[in-house]
Chain A
Amino acid sequence: MLLKDWTKEMASLAYVVDALELLTSAGRRVLLAQQLTTNVSDLEREYDNVAVAVSVCKAADKRRHNEPDNAAQCECCDTPQHERKERGDGIGEAFVDLRHCLMELHDLHGTLQLLKSHTVLSEVDLFEVKRLAHINARARVAAAALGESLSSIMALPDLGEVFALLDPDGTGVAHFYIYDSYDSRLADLRKQLRATDDAAVKTDLMAQHDALQQQVMESLSAQLHPYSNSLMQSLERLAYTDILLAKAKLAIDWELVRPVLACDAATCYEQLWEPRLRHHNEQQGLRYQPIDVELRSGLTLVSGANMSGKTVMLKTVALAQLMAQHGFYVPAAKATVSPVAAVELCIGDGQDEMSGLSSFAWEIGRISHILSRSRSERLLILVDEPARTTNPVEGRAIVQALCTLLSQGHGLAVVTTHYSGIVVQCHRLRVRGFVEDMATVPLTPQSINRFIDYSLLEDSDTSVPQEALRIAALLGADSDLLAIANSQLGVG
């Protein structure tokens, strides 16, 4: 699954991607087309790169803030190119230059594909190629000023020969036309064109001129063809630089942490938090509680009352895993992540009346898919309250069977459930839930979160908390409903 597909499935991941301050459309294209990275050394290298970018961003930012703010407001401040330029400071200035290079970058992936397939490029396309070579050269200079580490990560190719080819008069400027120097006959024709006022003569000359220009474009395209891979590399490396700087900026702004990778071991988070929810709560003046989670190899079975945040916990674990394996730092105070081949979710309700799919059918389909995959691959499997839409007798049997199979797998699985009496070799966690002395009734679904402790406790009991009626009462449920339900249970 590509990152693009994950962002459609998970709003929390889309939130993270949207928060990235990408400057190029090429960066966005490359990022969204990324698969999960499973190779540990690739991931470690990516974290190393982010670490380098973080220190470069911090160094540039520090210089910027030490500067007195004496820059005049740019006249056309709606164009981002005219960001304030720091003076007299190598790093700050080089960083701004690099950002300008990225802002000016067009995604000419399609044009380069044409070049590669021996298509003759138009004048406008040649202009774009020349501009890419120009940006590449400027970015190389900026990167060198920002230090050897960043410069070797960026690994921009040398496109000097491409630029020279498109700048035969050596102007050094990123403007372009079919220069006279490309063909001696051009200068002659152009002289005649400028001299004549006769429309018929002019049309004739223009036709000759255009034919000659076409020949030059054919020849230039052929000469540029051997460089198509270098040009492609330049575009992709600049896009990667954009992604890297955006990841670093996010890591700094959100205080994300570099994950420690632990193969075939437990995944462990201290103070794990979900950015979208946390920011939403903070905006609303609501409290947000980060949680500590430890997921050992095999099965982790999580119980907890309604509204105690089990689903959010699952989604947050999925988010952190996906972020880590896409080379992001993660939202936690400390993170040890065990890389997996894939993340598989069975959360929510895939009911679709239009295709005749019931909640139960969707869930069984998902679970079957997950189980068959888990036999051959090491997965992170997150299943939220399986078999909750069917009768409790058979439902419990299904959960028991699922848990038995998952506990034998070699990946990491987390299952939340309200069913008691699931007997299986597993790690059990329970959400602490309602704090006893809180009850100022009635509560609303919005205010209830103040009285819940979302932390996870180690549990050895196979029975689950029976708090549904109590919570229903706190939420102001219909009194007749509560009375009858309680009498069914033999509670006064």
Chain B
Amino acid sequence: MPFVEAITKRRSLSIVGLEKNTGKTVCLNYILRRLDEMAKVSVSVTSIGVDGEQVDSVFATAKPEVRIYRGMRFVTSEGHYVGRRLLSCLVDVDSNRTAMGRLVTAEALSSGEVILSGPSSNIGLQRLLARERANGVGLTIVDGALSRLSLASPAVTEAMVLATGAAVSPSINELVRKTVFVKRLVDLPQPEPSLRNALSAESRRGLWAVDADGLPRDLGIQSALLINADTDLLRYGKTLYVGGAVSGTLLSRLSTLGRGIALVVDDFTKLFITPEALLSFERAGGRLFALQKSNLVALTVNPTSPQGYLLDSHRLCDALSEATGIPAYDVMKIERFGNHLT
């Protein structure tokens, strides 16, 4: 599988599901198995956030365990560590406590299953990636989540695999359209380095403007929903920054303020907008930037939806590859029939 081959050259990778039941865990398990077979690079696996959720709360399916192979390292919470089904040796324990106990790092002495947890902040995640690298780990894989509840974002990893599928939409055209849009957001350009440094220096909440000297100025608006019609958002300049989630409402408001507006967000996971909202923002002369940028290296598809729809896997993969320029694979099919089919 060429895409796993390509992954081994990266130092960090996140796996992100576009919706629930798009086969993210199948994809993660597939990648880990292939990495184990290839035995090219030392691997560490973690997740975003610590939640005690044992069962998928929407469809009541069991929260998936991830299969870790002998010799791999993994990070999880003390609570999940106790319940692991493999033999492992503790190599580090974090001093900070989470709801599920301390975060521990272990090395697998046998292959088996574990539920993963991980840092819940971007800084924690970045520190973990750096620490694993310093400990000689070649590739750290993050079981990512697209959630506005999580402060940590999968965008801090070098590469990303996006899991998509029938759960997103039962129509191939619609599914392709939505996936292409996410790819667009992942590929948003970064602002110039000086602006990036000024905005990354500390974490900010709410709506900010960047003044003529390149300094962030608080517009005193905690949420885009609280903007009054008579608030002058452009009093410091036309470059705006939002710390936190950005909705379509904010984008349409900005579309009415005239040309040349640049809006900077933390990363694509903070954007909760439709293709139409982005289009009208750009038609009005606006541009969108992201501080953190990842690289989408592959798409995986799950042609089955939890409601029972089944899409044509082959057609779906072809359509996605063609529209995005990124290889797309039906990992479940590969797992079932072997990879000579793709």
Contact = CB atoms under 8 A, between A and B. Distances in A.
Interface of A: 25, 75-76, 78-79, 82, 106-107, 122-124, 127-128, 131, 175-177, 190, 193-194, 202, 206
Given A124-B104, A176-B89, A75 B133 contact: yes
B93 A131 contact: yes
Contacts, number: 59
A177 B110 contact: no
Consensus secondary structure, chain A interface: helix
B134 A124 contact: no
The 6 closest A-B CB pairs, nearest first, are A76-B130, A177-B89, A127-B90, A106-B95, A175-B91, A176-B90
Nearest to B123: A78
B134 A76 contact: yes
B14 interface: no
B196 interface: no
Nearest to A130: B90
Contacts of A128: 93
A107 B102 CA distance: 13
24 contacts: A75-B130, A76-B127, A76-B131, A78-B130, A79-B130, A79-B131, A106-B95, A107-B95, A122-B78, A122-B82, A123-B82, A124-B78, A124-B81, A124-B93, A124-B104, A127-B90, A131-B93, A175-B90, A175-B91, A176-B90, A177-B88, A190-B109, A193-B110, A202-B85
Interface centre among B90, B101, B127 (most CB of A within 10 A): B90
A177 B89 CA distance: 5
Contacts of A127: 90, 93, 104
Contacts of A124: 78, 81, 90, 93, 101-102, 104
Contacts of B130: 75-76, 78-79
B87 interface: yes
Nearest to A190: B87
B111 to A, nearest CB: 8
Contacts of A175: 89-91, 107
Interface in B52-106: 78, 81-82, 85, 87-91, 93, 95, 101-102, 104, 106
Contacts of A78: 126-127, 130
A122 B106 CA distance: 15
A122 B83 CA distance: 13
A127 B88 CA distance: 13
Nearest to B90: A127
Interface string B112-148: 0000000000000011001101100000000000000
Contacts of A177: 87-90, 106, 109
B90 A82 contact: no
B31 to A, nearest CB: 21
Given A76-B134, A177-B88, 9 more contacts: A75-B130, A76-B131, A76-B133, A122-B78, A124-B93, A127-B90, A127-B104, A176-B90, A177-B90
A124 B91 CA distance: 10
A150 B95 CA distance: 27
Contacts of B87: 177, 190, 193-194
A233 B134 CA distance: 32
Contacts of A176: 89-90
B108 to A, nearest CB: 11
Interface centre among A75, A175, A202 (most CB of B within 10 A): A175
A123 B88 CA distance: 11
Contacts of B133: 75-76
Contacts of A82: 134
Nearest to B85: A206
Interface centre among B91, B93, B104, B109 (most CB of A within 10 A): B93
